[in-house]
Copies of this chain bind each other. A is one copy, B any other.
C-alpha cells in the first residue's frame, strides 16, 4: 500500500493518479499529514517529481475537492423537485462524511472545478425546471447549500463518531463545566442528547424537511 504506482519504465505518473492518491491519503490520515513528500512517497517517487504534473500543492487541494464532487450523483431528473433536492442533500452529506477533510478545503479555495460547477448547475436546473423564478431559485440555492454545509460543519466536528462514544465524551465535557454555569446546555445534554435513541445525525432530516416544506410554500405563494 505504500506504493500505488507500478515501477514501470517511465512516465507512469499523471495528474489523475496524483489526485486519487492524495484523496486516499487524506481519507486515512487527514489533510495535516498530506505533505508533498508523503504523497510522493506513496507514489514511489520523490517530492519534486510531482511538480512536473501539478503546479503546486494548492492545485492538488483544488483538484481533490473537485474529485469529491465528481463522485457525487447529480440530482436525478424526472423526480419532483423536493424529492430530488432531498436525495441530493443526502448524497452530498454522505460524500462529505466519507471525505471529512473536503469541507475544510472548500472554504479558502477560490475557484471551483468542472465537477463542482456541473453539480451546482444541475441543482439550479432542477429548481428552474420545477418552476422556480430566477430570484426564488437563488434563494433556494443559497438556503439549501447553507444548511447543508453548515450542518456538516457541525457534524464533522463532533468529537465522536458513533452513538457509543457519546456518553463518555459528554461526561467529560460536563465534568469540565463549572457546576450550574450553563444550565440549559446541561439540561439539553443530560435530559435529551444522552437519552437512548438520540443521535445528532437525525437532526439533519428534520431541518432539511422543514426547509423544503417552507420553500414549497414560498414557491406556491409566488406563483399565485
Contact partners of A210 in chain B: CB under 8 A = 139, 143, 211, 214-215, 218
Q: How many copies of this chain sit in the oligomeric assembly?
A: 2
With A146-B150, A210-B143, A211-B210 as contacts: A138 and B193 at CB distance below 8 Å:
yes
Q: Is A183 an interface residue (CB 8 A)?
A: yes
Interface of A: prevailing SS: helix
Contact partners of A141 in chain B: CB under 8 A = 188
A118 to B181: give the CA distance in the assembly, Å.
8
A135-175 residues at the B interface, CB under 8 angstroms? 135, 137-139, 141-143, 145-151, 153-154, 156-157, 159, 173
Q: Is A124 an interface residue (CB 8 A)?
A: yes
Q: Is A107 an interface residue (CB 8 A)?
A: yes
Q: Mark A101-143, 1 if CB is under 8 A from B, else 0.
A: 0011011111100100110111011001000001101110111
A123 to B177: give the CA distance in the assembly, Å.
17
Q: Is the CB of B145 within 8 A of A182?
A: no
**Segment of A19-27, A37-45, A49-57, A200-208 in the binding face:** A200-208
Q: Is the CB of B156 within 8 A of A151?
A: no
A187 to B122: give the CA distance in the assembly, Å.
13
Q: Is A185 an interface residue (CB 8 A)?
A: yes
User: Nearest 3 pairs between A and B by C-beta?
Assistant: A150-B150, A146-B150, A124-B184
